[in-house]
Chain A
């Protein structure tokens, strides 16, 4: 039977086109790749090439015809051993019918996907923090040391774990977080890179594709903007795009957010940015214990994890349990202080404002529950909502910009899931909607402060 040559779709959006010219005439021999006709799409005039070998038996759509629907038979091709007599076998079928068939077929094919409802997002069940055995010694540790200890422990445990970044080895870390690692693990596993964020982020992801477990340190996350394509398009999406065959077990870590007096380009919080991306986990610890337990979890995690640290917190000390293997669950918030009157949710350095505000408010008789989110993605909204059901009031605190902030997301989720429990609108305390200024007084104004948090809690409590 002769082969139908169909009007082709030649762009992602084309539905019909004009058959402007036949290059081959009836009776012409045609080989694959030969241009047989020209059609005009919505964008351009395109050549139609033959796919099969044969003789152009009959032209069904004359040149000059406009508005020819995609998939209409435009000609019949005679194969080897076929002659004009064979044309009748399909020639009796008008072209419009053929196109009608095609349309019908497409519609039936599309039904399963078009008619199906969107499945619910799977619920994520995350284990609680491990019990710390009675009598465990607590050691006052800086966040900096805790992070280093986490990396060292995981590097001892797994030879596939290595750390790479600018000044991580010989310089001992731009912020001394990788101090001592070169001496213990050598330059094969503690790799100084050139100043080339986009490049080494991609190299890290490639190594992770091949099964290694890189810890990529960014001197600060501000510089990771140069690498954000590799983080988002290569690291976060590959597992999905590969149908689960391969992904990137990698940690991107480094200081995030405002330090002190380093102005606009070096003072930015990326929690909301990375929190936006499916395929990433985003962790932002406050205490040294959380920093250690969560970084160990991040290194073991088979997914790409963004681990947002803070330069100002590096030197702060917290109790860390002295345990052989202290690993915390990613995706679980921690109730930093229980309370009954109002809930403050924060994370990372935002917790410093939250904790101080809660202390002040306690003095005024307002018993605040402080939740440290710890992980931005997946976000433990259950813990937040449980708290709101108890206190009926919510304030979020973060240093990042206010629009599309983490707090804005929490507020929207709480509104959707616990509206009836709210006794006041949620207040989101955030950095001001300005690039970070350099001048000391302006910088102070641009960041949130304890007074703002206190005021917000009073506002949601209708106390002044």
Chain B
């Protein structure tokens, strides 16, 4: 591949120079959390609250036996997807693993369609055939919802490959967790993405536990922003509980990709309040730890406090938002229980085109 070869050697000579100055990868400076205006704060508040309430409702429906199988809730991590979504533009793609409800709602997928998929009904996004871990929306550029840990990373890299192939300026936002970050295919993807300068933002959602295994027990390098160093991919650690910090890092990363600099990693330091899945009692961490995150770092509470402190919203206005969100969630739950199961004829559809 003549062109790539010349590119590679060019990159090599550049890096030699950098090597002389002591740094292999010129990582951009972590941006300061940018101040949000009233509109942004209210938007972030509503979007995060929608995910929180949706997930609580999903947990409840699971408890009632209406949602089956595996169900991984996103509660606590809302700022990550909401902040990133605020950095994206139309045409940018999103792909993630199985803890995906928040990502879907953030891309603008309908609560009804997501909840109906969770209950396995015909008007779910996958006609009831995918479930919690396997949902897609071509319209919203949401490419799943993948159940195999780490598999979405090459796939998201492939989305970026298609963007570059077509010569458009879309960016692939590829999410995975601290657990997936130890999968080999992640590094195969890093290598190709960097080699080919693909426009992909790798978001490592470090919620500290891969199922029940704490990061320090599974990862030789616990600073995930460094995981791209061997591939010359810069990385930034971000306070993933602060939606403003996420947005600022997201802006930087997306612009990095759009300007042709290739991939970039954002390590979002976040926390999941619930267990890994519905049946996980989360005995591998202390209640105090969870309580501390909830009371001191809650992403929604942070925005709420700023809204109140800036007098941008009073209790009544916040309650009105809460009510509106509850209505959307309540409606989705109602829909997801009354919508019929898929017609039996769907058993054999959508296998081949």
Whether A243 contacts B273 by the Cβ 8 Å rule is: no
Please pick, from A119, A182, A190, A246, the residue contacting B138 in the complex, using a CB distance under 8 A: A246
A51 to B75 CA separation, bound complex (whole angstroms): 12
Residues of chain A with a CB closer than 8 A to B3's CB = 186-188
B59:A49 contact, CB within 8 angstroms: yes
Q: Does A26 contact B (CB under 8 A)?
A: no
- B148-199 at interface with A (beta carbon < 8 Å): 148, 151, 153-163, 165, 172, 184-185, 188-189, 191-192, 195
**B127 engages A244 (CB within 8 Å):** yes
Contacts of A239 in B (CB 8 A): 350-353
Please measure, in the bound complex, the distance between the C-alpha atom of A351 and the C-alpha atom of B224, giving whole angstroms. 53
Residues of chain A contacted by B93 (CB below 8 angstroms):
210
In B241-291, which residues have CB < 8 Å from any A CB? Answer: 273, 275, 278-281, 283
A451 to B1, CA, bound (A): 47
Residue of A nearest to B193 (CB): A203
Report chain B residues within 8 Å CB of A198.
154, 184-185, 188
B299 to chain A, nearest CB (A): 13
Given contacts A12-B70, A113-B341, contact A244 B185 (CB under 8 A): no
User: A162, A202, A234, A241: which contacts B157 (Cβ < 8 A)?
Assistant: A202
Query: Distance in Å from the Cβ of B161 to the closest Cβ of chain A?
Result: 5
Task: Check A202–B158 contact: CB distance below 8 A.
Answer: yes
Tell me if B136 counts as interface (CB < 8 A to partner A). yes
Chain A: which residue is nearest B167 at the CB level?
Answer: A188
Contact, CB under 8 Å: A206 / B56: no
Given contacts A188-B165, A205-B154, A246-B138, A10 and B278 within 8 Å (CB-CB)? yes
Residue count of chain B within 8 Å CB distance of chain A = 79
Which residues of B have CB within 8 Å of A212? 161-162, 165
| Contact B2–A240 (Cβ < 8 Å) | no
Choice from B95, B134, B294, B344 contacting A119 with Cβ under 8 Å: B344
Chain B residues contacting A279 (CB-CB under 8 Å) are 351-352
Within 8 A of B (CB), among A148-203: 162, 169-170, 182, 186-188, 190-194, 196, 198-203
Q: Report chain A residues within 8 Å CB of B134.
A: 237, 241-242
Most buried by B among A12, A116, A202, A230: A202
Chain B contacts of A190 at CB under 8 A?
1
User: Is residue A412 contacting chain B, with contact meaning CB distance below 8 A?
Assistant: no
Given the known interface contacts A12-B70, A239-B353, the answer about A202 and B189 at a Cβ–Cβ threshold of 8 Å is: yes
Chain A proximity mask over B187-226: 1 for CB below 8 Å, otherwise 0: 0110110010000000000000000000000000000000
Taking the complex as formed, is B21 at the interface, i.e. its CB lies under 8 A from any CB of chain A?
Answer: no
Question: Which one of A38-46, A415-423, A454-462 is at the B interface?
Answer: A38-46
Let me know if B130 is at the binding interface, CB within 8 A: yes
**In the complex, per-residue mask of A80-108: 1 if CB is within 8 Å of any chain B CB, else 0:** 00000000000000000000001000100
Query: Which of A106, A118, A200, A201 has the most chain B CB atoms inside 10 A of its CB?
Result: A200
Decide yes or no whether B137 CB sits under 8 A from chain A.
yes
Contacts of A245 in B (CB 8 A): 125-126, 136-138
B63 at the interface (CB under 8 A from A): yes
A10 to B276, CA, bound (A): 12
B148 with A244: CB separation less than 8 A = no
A-B pair number, CB within 8 angstroms = 230
CB of B158 within 8 A of CB of A8, answer no
Docked complex Cα distance between A233 and B185 (Å): 14
Could you say which residues of chain B place their CB within 8 Å of the CB of A318? none
Question: A70 contacts the other chain (Cβ, under 8 Å)?
Answer: yes
B192 near A33 with CB under 8 A, answer no
Residue contact B136 to A233, C-beta cutoff 8 Å = no
B40 at the interface (CB under 8 A from A): no
Give chain B interface residues in 303-353, CB to chain A under 8 Å: 340-341, 344-345, 347-353
Chain A CB within 8 A of B297 CB: no
Shortest beta-carbon distance from A68 to chain B in Å: 12
B137 cross-chain contacts in A, Cβ below 8 A: 245
Contact at B192–A196, with CB atoms within 8 Å? yes
Given A112-B340, A170-B2, answer yes or no on A205-B155 (Cβ-Cβ < 8 Å).
yes
Chain B CB within 8 A of A400 CB: no
> Are A9 and B352 touching (Cβ within 8 A)?
no
In the complex the two chains form, is B350's CB within 8 Å of A193's CB? Answer: no
Give every chain B residue within 8 A of A142 (Cβ-Cβ).
none
Q: Is B28 on the interface with A (CB-CB < 8 A)?
A: no
Chain B residue, CB-CB nearest to A169: B1
Verify if B146 is at the interface (C-beta below 8 Å from A): yes
Find B147's partner among A41, A113, A233, A244 (CB 8 Å cutoff).
Answer: A233
- Inter-chain CA distance A100–B146, complex, in Å, is 37
Q: Cβ of A12 and Cβ of B351 under 8 Å apart? A: no
Query: Is B154 in contact with A233, judged by CB distance below 8 angstroms?
Result: no
Q: In the complex, A332→B39 CA distance in Å?
A: 61
The minimal Cβ–Cβ distance linking A265 to chain B, given in whole angstroms, is 19
Q: Is the CB of B53 within 8 A of A246?
A: no
A272-292 CB contacts (< 8 Å) to partner B:
278-279, 281
**Residues of chain A having any CB pair with chain B under 8 Å:** 6-12, 14, 32-33, 41, 43-49, 51, 70-71, 102, 106, 112-113, 116-119, 121-122, 162, 169-170, 182, 186-188, 190-194, 196, 198-212, 229-230, 233-234, 237-247, 278-279, 281, 302-303
23 A-B contacts (beta carbon < 8 Å): A9-B63, A10-B278, A12-B68, A33-B273, A44-B280, A170-B1, A182-B1, A199-B192, A202-B185, A203-B155, A206-B159, A211-B162, A229-B151, A241-B144, A242-B135, A242-B138, A242-B144, A242-B350, A243-B136, A244-B350, A245-B126, A278-B351, A303-B352
Beyond contacts A10-B63, A233-B151: 7 other A-B pairs, Cβ-Cβ < 8 A, are A46-B279, A70-B65, A203-B155, A206-B158, A230-B151, A240-B351, A279-B352
- B residues whose Cβ falls under 8 Å from a Cβ of A: 1-5, 52-53, 56-57, 59-60, 62-65, 68-70, 75, 93, 95, 124-130, 134-138, 143-148, 151, 153-163, 165, 172, 184-185, 188-189, 191-192, 195, 273, 275, 278-281, 283, 294, 340-341, 344-345, 347-353
